[in-house]
């Protein structure tokens, strides 16, 4: 599955839907080869005419390799869900989740925030896990439109709520630092599923909360 694969499901003691469930999520593929990445960064900077012999630059290829490995390397995490014992049926919205990713067209960062909401079904999600899900999909070469939809689809698949909404607002350095150099310009994308797409009042409520 693009965006990470679930390798194990560890249910805690309980009865059916009335139990805590943890899903261990790990990224697809192998980890970075920092030695090869450092050598490639050194060759790349040299080809651009950067003097790596001057003070302060000798260790730059290694730092560059480690920085990009962090930017494009999603981390393992546990997705923990709980039974919706209270029968809560109103919107849950987590706002201003940091988004840090890399534009796949120029390999330059884009940074912003995500607002994620859902209408609970039989299960609810630990609130900190929303940030984990956002980070998991952001830490790879991305385009913002696809990132927004991946987060929504992933939550719909693994949480099975009555509806999911994701709004991302970000500034792209490939637009602010190069080309048109439109510093301060921001891009907003949204993905709505289930009741948040089909019910106009629920959709309006979510978007109002996300943009508050």
What residue ranges define each of the domains in the chain, with the CATH number in brackets?
Answer: 34-70 (no CATH), 84-210 (3.30.1130.10)
- Residue 88: its pLDDT value, please? 94
Angle value at C-alpha 108, between 107 and 111, nearest 5 degrees = 130
The pLDDT of residue 9 is: 45
Task: Respond yes or no: is residue 212 known to be catalytic.
Answer: no
**Distances, alpha carbon 100 to alpha carbons 96, 142, 209, in Å:** 12, 10, 22
Residue 76: per-residue pLDDT: 83
Q: What is the mean pLDDT of each run of 10 residues along the chain (212 residues)?
A: 46 58 77 92 96 93 95 85 93 96 94 97 92 94 96 94 97 85 86 96 94 78
Pairing of strands 109-119, 163-172: antiparallel
Residue-wise DSSP of 120-143? --SEEE-THHHHHHHHHHHSSEE-
Q: Provide CB contacts within 8 A for 142, sequence distance 6+.
A: 101, 102, 103, 104
CB 175 within 8 A of CB 58: no
Q: Which is the catalytic residue, given 106, 137, 145, 205?
A: 106
Which of 103, 115, 142, 150 is labelled catalytic? 103
- For 157, other C-beta atoms within 10 Å of its C-beta total 11
Out of 115, 136, 137, 172, which one is annotated catalytic? 172
- Cα 163 from chain centroid (whole Å): 19
The active-site residue, picked from 2, 70, 105, 157, is 105
Catalytic one of 36, 75, 104, 157: 104
What the block records as the tokens of 128 is 């900190």
Cβ distance 125 to 118 under 8 Å?
yes
136 is catalytic: no
**Whether 90 is catalytic:** no
How many angstroms separate the Cα of 196 from the Cα of each of 183, 184, 188, 210? 33, 30, 17, 12
Calpha distance 72→171 (Å, rounded): 18
Q: Residue 149: exposed, middle, or buried by beta-carbon count in 10 A (0-12, 13-18, 19+)? A: middle
Report pTM. Answer: 0.87
117 closest CA partner among 80, 83, 148, 87: 148
Q: Say whether 100 is catalytic.
A: no
Active site residue 103: yes
| Residue 142 bears catalytic tag | no
* N-terminal to C-terminal alpha carbon distance within the chain: 34
Identify the pLDDT of residue 18: 64
pLDDT at 43: 97
């Amino acid at each position: 599955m693009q965006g990470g694969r679930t390798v194990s499901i560890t249910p805690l003691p309980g009865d059916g839907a009335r139990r805590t469930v943890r899903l261990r999520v790990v990224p697809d593929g192998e980890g970075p080869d920092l030695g090869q990445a450092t050598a490639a960064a050194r060759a790349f900077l040299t080809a651009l005419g950067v003097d790596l012999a001057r003070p302060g630059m000798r260790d730059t290829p290694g730092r560059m390799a480690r920085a990009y490995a962090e930017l494009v390397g999603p981390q393992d995490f546990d997705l923990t869900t709980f039974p919706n014992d209270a029968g809560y049926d109103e919107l849950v919205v987590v706002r201003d989740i940091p988004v840090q990713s890399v534009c796949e067209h120029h390999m330059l960062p884009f940074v912003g925030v995500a607002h994620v909401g859902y209408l609970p079904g039989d299960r609810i999600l630990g609130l900190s896990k929303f940030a984990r899900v956002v980070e998991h999909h952001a830490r790879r070469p991305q385009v913002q439109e696809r990132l927004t939809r991946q987060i929504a689809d992933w939550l719909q698949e693994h949480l099975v709520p009555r509806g999911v909404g994701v709004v991302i607002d970000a500034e792209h350095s490939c637009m602010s630092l190069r080309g048109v150099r439109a510093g301060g310009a921001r891009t907003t994308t949204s993905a709505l599923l289930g009741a948040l797409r089909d019910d106009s009042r629920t959709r309006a409520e979510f978007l109002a909360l996300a943009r508050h």
